[in-house]
Amino acid sequence: MGNWFTENGPLLGLALLDGIASAALIFMVAVGLNLVFGVLRVLNVAHGSLFAIGAYAAASVGFFAASAGLPAWASLPALLFAAMLVGLVLGPLIERLLLRRIYDEEPVLQLLVTFALFMILEDAQKLVWGVQPVSFSTPVSLMGTVDVPFGTDVIPYNTYQVILLPAVAVVTLVGLAIFLRRTLTGRVILAVTMDREAATAMGIDARKVFLLTFTFGAMLAALGGALSTPTSSLVPGIGASTIVLSFAVVATAGLGQIEGAALTALMIGIGRSIAVTFYPELEVVVPYIIMVAVLLVRPQGLFGVVETRRV
Amino acid sequence: MPLPFQLTRRTALAAGFGSVLLPASLSAQAPVQRPSELKIGVTTFLSGPASVFGVPGRNAAEMLAEEINREGGIGGVPVRLFFVDEAPGIDHLVGEFRRLVQNERVDVMFASISSGSCLACTPLGEELRKVTVLWDCGTQRIFEERRYQYAFRTQANATPEILAPLLYLMKTKPDFRTVAVLNQDYAWGRDSWEIWKTAMDALKPGTRVVAELFPRFGATDFSAEVTRLLALRPDVILSTSWGGELDTFIRQAAERRLFERSTFVLPLAESSLERVGRSLPAGHIVGSRGDHWHQHPRPANPQALQRFVENYRRRADAYPIYPTYHMAQAFSALRAAHAKAMQANGGNWPSDAQLAAAFPGLEFDSPTSRMRIREDGQGLEPQLIGTTVHTDRFPFAVMDKMVIFPPDLVTTPAGQNSVAWLRTLTPDMVNRVPDPISAAG
Amino acid sequence: MTALLEARGLRLAFGGVKAADGIDLAVMRAEFLAIIGPNGAGKTTFINMVTGYLRPQGGTITYEGAEITGRRPREIVRRGIARSFQLPQLFSEHTVEENAALAIAARQGIWSPFVPLLRPAWRDEARELLDRFGLLPLATRRADALNEGTRKLADIAMAVALKPRLLLMDEPTSGVSASEKMAVVETLARVLREAGVTAVFVEHDMDVVARFADRVAVWSQGRIVALGPPAQILADPVVQREVIGIERHA
Amino acid sequence: MTLRRIELLLALLGAGALVLAAMTTPWLKFVLTIALAKGIAVLGIMLLLRAGQVSFGHALYVALGAYAVAFLAPVLPDAALLLPAAALTTAVVGTLIGLFVSRYREIFFGMLNLALSMVFYSMLEKFYHYTKGTDGIRVPPLTVAGLELDRVTHEWTIFGIALALALGFGAFARVYLASPMGQALTAIKTRETRLDFMGVSARSVLLAAYVLSATMAGCAGALIAMATRHVTPLLSYWTASGELVFIAILGGAGGVLGPFLGAVTYELVRVYAAATVADMWQMILGAVLLLVILFARGGIWGLLALRLQRRGAA
C-alpha cells in the first residue's frame, strides 16, 4: 500500500486537482436545485434546461460582446450577466405561470410539471440555438495555463478550471451560508426549508419566499451553465445529462443542505477523476455508487435531518 | 401563432384517423403503376446530441429533393420526403418505419445514422420487402452477419474508415511506439477501437497501448482524461469521437498544449473543422468517413462538387460535412438504381423487387467520385485522409498531404469478417498506400 | 392482581430536557390507570417508550413477564399493546369503515391479495365496532371529512379493533365536545371492560379521571410524583396546586 | 350500472376497438402492441403511486425483461417460454432491489431507483462484448408454443399475447387494489406510522407491490423485445422511466384502465406529433402533459369517470 502511494502519489495529486475543478461545476448546478427543493419541495427537472439555456445564453452574450468590440476580459462579466438575465427572466416566469398552480398537489404531479417543462424547453432551445455545437472559449484562452510539476515533467492546467471555477464555487458556498444564516431574507428561507407550516403560521409569506428562491435557483442553474460554456461545446441534450447528476447530488447531500451539496460534489468530482486515472471503467457509475453507499449508511442523506413524525 | 398550429395538428390528426378507417388492403397488391410521387422515408437524428449529423443530413435531403424535383423528379415523378427522428428509441423508430411503409406507402427507406437503428431497421425492411438504403450508419456487422435482398449501403463502413487513417499514420509518421485512445463509450467508440487495435497488431506489431479511455457518451468535460494523456505522453492519440464531444476534446487538449506532445488521429474530425476553427493545430491527422472534403484535391467532376458545396452553404450557412455527402450518395444511388430498374423493366415503373435487383453491382456518382455497390450490398467508397494545415484562405484548419485510399485496398472482401480479415494483414500493406496529394494553393 | 406492564427506572432526555427521569410504574391487569400532569411533564413520552416509538436511554419495560424495552412498534403491537394518538392518525383517503377494516386486517392477517378488504366478515365486524362507538352513521364517510371529535373516536376504535390486552390512550377526550364527552367515555369504558382490556390514558379533564380511573399517576418533570386512587390523589393539596391548578389555567 | 361494471365493459369495448384498429391498419398493430406493453408496465407504476411513491427507474425492469428475452432467445426460442423466464428474472431482481429501496420514501425512493437504472444502463454499455453496447441485440425469429409463424401471424400473436396479458394484469391489479394489501398501499401514502402501530410492516407491503410492479415491467419489456425484435440500452435510460410515469399521470392513476388509456394516447400522440413535426414531438408531448396536469388532474380516466358518474346521476 505504501509502495502504491509512492508510485502513484503524483498521479493522485493530479486527479485531485481535476476532481476539484469538476466538483466546482457540479456544486454550482446542484446547489441551486437543492435550495429550490428544500424550500419549494419541488424536484425541478427543468433545472437541467435552465442550465442549458444559461450555457447557450452565455455563448450568445459572449459573441455579442466580442462583436461589439469589447475587450477580451469583458467575456467574464458577460458570463455572469447572461446567467442573471436567464434567471431573472425565466425564473419568475416559470414560478408564476406554472409552479404556483401546483404547490398543493402531490409531489409526483409537481415533478411531472417540471418534466413537461423540460421537454418543451429542450425543443425550444433547439429552435433558438440550433443543433450544431456552439462554443465560446475566450475566457479560457484569456486566463491561460498554470504549470503543475509532475515528477520531472510539468502538466499545464487551465487557470480558468483549476483556479477560477473553484474560487467561484467557494465564494458561492460561503456567500450562500452567510446569506442564509445572517440576513433576514436568508433566515426566512431557512425557516421555510425546515418547517413550512410553522413558518407560514408565524406570518411568513411563503409565496414570496418561493418566488425569490426559485428565481435564485434558476440563476444558479444558469450560472452553472454559463461557467461550463468556456470549457465545453454546447449540444442538444446537455441539460438531460446534467439533471441526472444533480438529482444524485441532492439525494446524497440531504434535502436543502448546501454544505451537503458541496461535500457530495467534491466526492463525486474527485471520485470520478480518480476513476479516470486508475479504473476508467468505473467512471460512469461513480456518482451512483457514492449515492447508494451514502444512503445505505445515512438514509436521510449526508447532512439530512431525520424528520421526526409527531405522534 | 397558436391558431395555425392547432389547425395543422387537427388536420394531421384527421388525416391520421382517416387512414385508420381506410381499409389498407385497397391498394395493396395492385399492378405497379407510375405513382404521382416517389415517397422516401428518411430516418435521422432530429433531437439529441447526434442531431449534429442528423440535421445537416436532413438539410441535404431537402436540398437534393428540391433539385431533383426542379429537374423533373426521378423517372419523371417528383420525390417527397418523410422524416423520422431516431432519438426516441428503437420501439418508436420501428413503429414509424412500419407506418411509413404500410400507411404512407413509401417507395424506399433511407435508414439511419445510428448503427443500432440500422441493425433494427434492416431486417424489418427485408421482412416488409422494402428497399432500404443504409445512408450513414457505420457498423460493418450488417452485411457480414447476414445477407439481404432489400438492403444496400451507399457508403463505406467502419473498417475502411478506421483502417485508412491507420495506414496514413504509418505512411506519414511511421516512428510511433505508444498509442492512447479516447473514444466515446458506445458501440461506435468500442467497435472502431477494436478495428484499429486488431489492424495495428497486424500491421505494426509491438506498438504499446498506454491508455484506453472511454468517457461517458455525451460527456462535456475531458479535463481528467487530458491530464492523464499529458502525463503519459503517448506518441499517438486516437479519437473517433464526433460532434460536441470531439469539439470539446480538441479545445481542451489545445488549451493545455496536448497537441504539442502527441500526434492526434481524428478519423471524424472533418465534421468539426469549421466549428473548432484554429483551435486544432497543424500537423494532425484528420479523416472524413469517406471521400468527402469541400476542397477535395481530385474530384471526378469539379463543377458538380463546387455546386453542391455552394448550394449547401447558401442553405445552411456552413460547409457541408460528411453526412450531407452521404445523403447525396444515397440520392444518387437511388436515381441510378431507378433508371437501371426502369430500363430492365422495359421503361415501366419498377416494383420493389425490381428496384432492389438494380442495386447489386450498381455504379453511381458521388459528389467526388464514381462509386459502386458490391454484390453483398456494401458500398465501395474511397477514403480521404489528410494532415491539418493552417492557411490564409480559411479561418479553420484544412487538410493537406491528402491520400485517397482506393476502396479495394481498405475494404474487407465480400463474405469475410472484418476482424478476421484485419488479422491477416501484413506490414508491407503500407507500401501500397498511394502518395499524398498537396492541397491546391 | 398481577402487573401486566412494569416499567423500571426509565430514563430519556432530549438535549438537556429530562422527559423521563427514572420512571417506575406497574400497571395491573384490567385496571384503568390515568396519567395526569402539566404539559411537557413526559406523559406522551412514556406512551411512546412503551409502544416502541422512542427507545429509553435507561431502564426496562416488562410486559406479561417478557422484556420489551426498545423493541419496534410492530413487534410490541403483536404482543397485545395498542395505542391511540393525541392527534388522530387516520388513513385520510379511506372511509371510516375501511379504516376500521384495515385495523381488523392488521390483526387477522393482511397478506391476502385476492379477497377484498371489505369482505363480509370484516365489514360486519367493522360496523359492529363503529356502532359501539356511535360512528355507524359515518361509516362510509371519508376520514378526512370528519370533525375533530369523531376523528378522535375513530382513532380509538382502530386501536380497539386490534383487540389489545393493554391499550394506551393519549388524551382520548381532547377535541370531543364537552356535552358529548361523558357519554363517549362511558361507551369507551364499557367496551373496554367487556373485553377485559387494561387501559392507561393521559387525561386533562379531572372529572373524567375521577369517574373512570381506578388509579391516578401524577407526572411532573419526567417523574411520577404521586400514585394512588383518584379520590386520594385529586384531594392532595400539592397535586391540586402544582398540577391541577396549572391545568385549569392552561 | 356501477362504475366498476362500466369499467369492465369499457375494458372489453376498448380491447375490441384495439383489435379492430389493428385489423384495419397494419402498422397500428405494432404501435398498439407497444402501447399495451407500456400500459402493463405503467400498471405497476400505478401500484407504487398508490403508496405515494414514484419510481424514476422502472425502465430498469423493462430493459431487464427485454434483454432477458434477447439473451435467452438463442437457447430458448419460444415466446411461451421466454415470457415466463423474463417475468421470473425481473421478479428475482425486483425482490433483491426491492429489499433495499423499500426502506426509502419519496425523493430517496425515486432517486435510488433512478440511480440503479442508470447503473444498469451503464453496464449494458460497458459490458460491450456481451451486450453489443448501443448497437443492441437482435432477437431471432421466435416460435410460439412450438409453432413456426410467418411475419403477419407472428405480429398478431404478439399483439394477442399483449392484449391478453393487459386484460389479465388489469383484472389482477383491480382485485389486488381492493384487497387489504392494496388498500394498505394507500395507507402508506396517508399515514404510514399508523400502519406500524397496527403491527403491519409498511416495508413488506411496499415490497410486495414493488416486486409485482417489477414483474409487470419485465413482462412489458419482454413484449417490447418480441415486437421490435431488437433491444438497445436506451430502454433503460432515465427518460424511458420518466415516460412511464408520464403515461401514468396522463392516463390517470384512479383506475386500472388509466394506464392503458394513457399508453395508447401517448403512443398515438407521439406518432402523430412525429408525423406532423418530426423534430418537435417532445414539445408537443410536454404541452399535452402540462395541459393534463393543469386542467385534468385525474388524467383521461378521471375525465371519463367523471362524465360517466354525471350521466349515472342524471
Contact criterion met (CB < 8 Å) for B231 and A233: no
Predicted local confidence at residue D158, as pLDDT: 94
DSSP type of residue A70: -
d(CA B142, CA B151): 9
- Quote the minimal CA–CA distance from C164 to chain D in Å: 10
The CB density around residue B34, as the number of other CB atoms within 10 Å, is 11
- Could you tell me if D228 lies within 8 Å of chain B, comparing CB atoms? yes
Q: Which residues of D touch A118 (CB under 8 A)?
A: 286
ipTM of the complex: 0.85
Rounded to a whole number of angstroms, the distance from the CA of C145 to the nearest CA of chain A is: 18
Q: What is the pLDDT of residues D60-72, one digit of tens each?
A: 999 999 999 999 9
**Cα–Cα distance measured from residue B99 to residue B104, given in angstroms and rounded to the nearest whole number:** 7
Contact C74, D200 (CB under 8 A): yes
Cell of D97: 432491489
- Report the distance separating Cα D125 and Cα D132, nearest Å: 8
* Helices D151-178, D3-24: crossing angle, 10 deg rounding: 170
Phi, psi of D170, rounded to the nearest 5 degrees: -60, -50
What confidence score (pLDDT) does residue A88 get? 95
From chain D, pick out residues whose CB is under 8 angstroms from the CB of A124.
283
Q: Do B247 and A133 touch (CB under 8 A)?
A: yes
Q: How far is CA A92 from CA A186, C156, D150, in A?
A: 18, 47, 58
Q: Is the pLDDT of residue D2 over 80?
A: no
- Nearest-CB residue to D278 (from B21, B84, B217): B84
The residue of chain D nearest to residue A120, with distances taken between CA atoms, is D283
Note down pLDDT in tens along chain A; length 311 residues: 567 777 777 888 888 999 999 999 999 999 999 999 888 888 899 999 999 999 999 999 999 998 988 888 888 999 999 999 999 999 999 999 999 888 888 887 888 899 899 999 998 998 999 888 898 988 888 888 999 888 888 899 999 999 999 999 999 999 999 998 888 888 888 888 777 777 777 778 888 889 999 999 999 999 999 999 999 899 888 888 888 888 888 888 887 788 899 999 999 999 998 988 888 778 888 888 898 889 888 888 887 765 544 55
D163 pLDDT more than 90: yes
Residues, chain C: 250
Q: Which residue in A283, A264, A277, A289 sits closest to A17, CA to CA? A: A277
Residue A117 Cα, gap to closest chain D Cα (Å)? 6
Tens of pLDDT along D177-196? Answer: 999 999 999 999 999 989 99
D126 is in an annotated binding site: no
Residue B57 near residue B111 (C-beta atoms within 8 A) = no
A43 closest CA partner among A238, A206, A304, A250: A250
In this prediction, residue A265 carries a pLDDT of 94
CATH of the domain at C224: 3.40.50.300
Cβ of B187 and D28 within 8 Å? no
CA distance D19 to B257: 64
Residue D120 C-alpha cell reads as 444498469
Sequence-ordered list of residues with C-beta below 8 angstroms from that of B433, at least 6 positions apart, any chain: B167, B168, B170, B171, B403, B405, B409
* C50 in reach of chain D (CB within 8 A): no
Find out whether D59 and D88 touch, Cβ atoms under 8 Å.
Answer: no
The answer to whether C187 and C149 are in contact (CB under 8 A) is no
Asked if B268 contacts B287 with a C-beta cutoff of 8 angstroms, the reply is yes
Please answer whether residues C25 and C7 qualify as being in contact, where contact means their C-beta atoms are separated by less than 8 angstroms. Answer: yes
Bridge partners of residue C220, in order along the sequence: C223
**How large is the C-alpha radius of gyration of chain D?**
19
B20 against C23, higher pLDDT = C23
D157 in contact with B, Cβ within 8 Å: no
Residues of A in contact with D277 (CB under 8 A): none
User: Cα C47 vs. chain centroid, distance in angstroms?
Assistant: 8
Cell matching residue D271? 406518432
Instruction: Determine whether the interchain pair D180/C110 forms a contact, defined as Cβ–Cβ distance below 8 Å.
Output: yes
Please choose, from the candidates A78, A52, A89, the residue with its C-alpha nearest in 3D space to the C-alpha of residue A222: A52
Cβ–Cβ gap B213/A280 under 8 Å:
yes
What is the predicted pLDDT for the residue at D126? 81
* Phi and psi angles of residue C55, each rounded to the nearest 5 degrees, phi first: -100, 125
Residues of chain A contacting residue C89, judged by C-beta atoms under 8 Å apart: 311
Nearest 5°: the CA angle C172, C175, C179 is: 95
Contact D190 C98 (CB under 8 A): no
> pTM surpassing 0.95?
no
In chain C, which residues have their Cβ closer than 8 Å to the Cβ of A311? 48, 53, 85-87, 89
Residue D1: which pLDDT band, with cuts at 50, 70 and 90? low
Contact between residue D135 and residue B141 where contact means Cβ atoms under 8 Å apart? yes
Please tell me which of the candidates A126, A244, A295 has its beta carbon nearest to residue D108: A295
Which among A14, A236, A272 has the least Cβ separation from residue B47?
Answer: A236
C168 and C69 part of one domain: yes
Could you tell me the three cell numbers for A47?
433545472
- C-beta separation of A106 from A93 below 8 A: no
Q: CB A112 to CB D245 under 8 A?
A: yes
Nearest to D28 by CA among D13, D42, D17, D43: D17
Distance of CA C193 to the CA centre of its chain: 15
Inspect the interface and report whether the beta carbons of A228 and B251 lie closer than 8 Å: no
Q: In terms of domains, do C62 and C140 share one?
A: no
SS3 for B339?
Answer: helix
Report the alpha-carbon distance of residue B87 to residue B114 in Å, rounded.
9
pLDDT at B393: 93
Of B47, B220, B223, Cβ closest to residue A126:
B47
C-alpha grid cell for residue C128?
359492529
Q: Going from the N-terminus, what domains does chain A have, and what CATH number goes with each?
A: 9-297 (1.10.3470)
Q: Which three cell numbers stand for residue B195?
A: 478495428
pLDDT digits (tens, 9 = 90+) for C182-193: 888 888 898 899
Beta bridge partners of B77: B74
Instruction: Please tell me what DSSP assigns to residue D82.
Output: H
Contact list in A for residue B279 (CB cut-off 8 A) is: 137
The three-state secondary structure class of B48 is: coil
The Cα–Cα gap between D42 and A153 comes to 57
Spell out the residues 6+ positions from residue C128 whose beta carbon is closer than 8 angstroms to its own.
none
What's the residue count for chain D?
A: 314
Q: How many domains are there within chain C?
A: 2
What backbone phi and psi angles, to 5 degrees, belong to D73? -55, -40
Contact D83, D219 (CB under 8 A): yes
Residue C69 has which C-alpha cell? 424495552
Q: Rounded distance, CA B303 to CA B286, Å? A: 25
Q: Does D122 touch chain A (CB under 8 A)?
A: yes
Judging by DSSP bridges, how do beta strands B398-405 and B383-389 pair with one another?
antiparallel
Check whether residue C170 and residue C243 sit in a common domain: yes
Mutate to test the interface with B, among A56, A119, A134, A137 (most CBs of B within 10 A): A137
List subunits contacting chain C, requiring 3 or more Cβ pairs under 8 Å.
A, D
Domains of chain B: 35-156+303-377 (3.40.50.2300), 159-288+382-432 (3.40.50.2300)
User: Taking Cα atoms as reference points, which of B184, B140, B185, B180 lies closest to residue B162?
Assistant: B140
E-assigned strands of chain D? 137-138, 230-231
- Is D133 an interface residue toward A (CB < 8 Å)? no
- Residue D289 is predicted with a pLDDT of 87
pLDDT one-digit tens code per residue, C189-245? 988 998 899 999 999 888 889 889 999 999 988 899 889 999 898 888 888 877 766
Q: How far is D189 from chain A (nearest CA, A)?
A: 10
C96 and C81 within one domain: no
Strands, DSSP E only, in A125-280? 145-150, 153-158
Q: How many CB atoms lie within 10 A of CB B376?
A: 17
Which chains are adjacent to chain A, needing at least 3 Cβ pairs under 8 Å? B, C, D
**Residue in chain A nearest D277 by alpha carbon:** A123
CA distance D256 to chain A (A): 18
Selected residues 250-279 of chain D with any CB under 8 Å from a CB in chain B = 267-268, 270-272, 274-276, 278-279
Contact partners for chain D, using 3 or more CB pairs closer than 8 A, are A, B, C
**Chain A contact present for D193, CB below 8 A:** yes
Q: Are strands B398-405 and C81-83 parallel, antiparallel or unpaired?
A: unpaired
Mean pLDDT by 10 residues, chain B (441 residues): 36 41 40 86 91 94 96 93 91 91 93 91 93 94 92 96 97 96 91 96 95 88 92 96 94 94 97 94 96 93 94 94 96 96 92 95 94 95 96 95 96 94 95 89 48
Determine the Cα–Cα distance for residues C63 and C84; give it in Å rounded to an integer. 18
As given in the structure block, the three cell numbers for residue B194 are 477494436
Which string of b and e fits B61-80 if b means at least 16 CB within 10 Å?
A: bebbbeebbeeebbbebbbb
Q: What percent of chain D has pLDDT over 70?
A: 98
Q: B–C contact (≥3 CB pairs within 8 Å)?
A: no
φ and ψ at A252, to 5 degrees? -70, -35
Mutate to test the interface with D, among B25, B46, B53, B91 (most CBs of D within 10 A): B91
Task: Judge contact between A189 and A209, C-beta under 8 A.
Answer: yes
Out of A131, A140, A233, the one facing B55 most closely (by C-beta) is A131
Q: Of B20, B91, B188, which has the smallest distance from its Cβ to D24's Cβ? A: B20
Residues in chain A: 311
- Residue span of the structural domain in which C241 resides: 3-90+146-249
How many angstroms separate the CA of residue D49 from the nearest CA in chain B?
25
Q: How far C16 CA sits from the closest chain A CA (Å)?
A: 18
Q: Are C69 and C56 in contact (CB under 8 A)?
A: yes
Question: D4 in contact with C at a CB cutoff of 8 Å?
Answer: no
Per DSSP, the residues of B238-303 read E----HHHHHHHHHHHHHTTGGGTSEEEETTGGGTHHHHGGGS-SS-EEE-SSS--TT-SS-SSHH
A272 CA to chain B: closest CA distance, Å?
Answer: 9
Cβ contact D132–B187 (<8 Å): yes
pLDDT at position C59 is: 92
Chain centroid to CA C44: how far?
10
CB contact A228 to B (< 8 Å): yes
How many percent of chain D have pLDDT more than 90?
Answer: 59
Question: Regarding beta strands C166-170 and C81-83, do their DSSP bridges make them parallel or antiparallel, or are they unpaired?
Answer: parallel
List beta partners, residue B285: B265, B387
Pick the residue from chain A with its C-alpha nearest to C86.
A311
Which grid coordinates belong to A130? 440550433
The amino acid occupying position C97 is: E
pLDDT value at residue A237: 84
Number of residues in chain B: 441
Mean per-residue pLDDT for C80-93?
A: 92
Neighbours of chain B (3+ CB pairs under 8 A): A, D
Cross-chain Cβ contact D190/C94 below 8 Å: yes
Domain boundaries, chain D: 25-238
Q: What mean pLDDT, rounded, does chain D reach?
A: 90
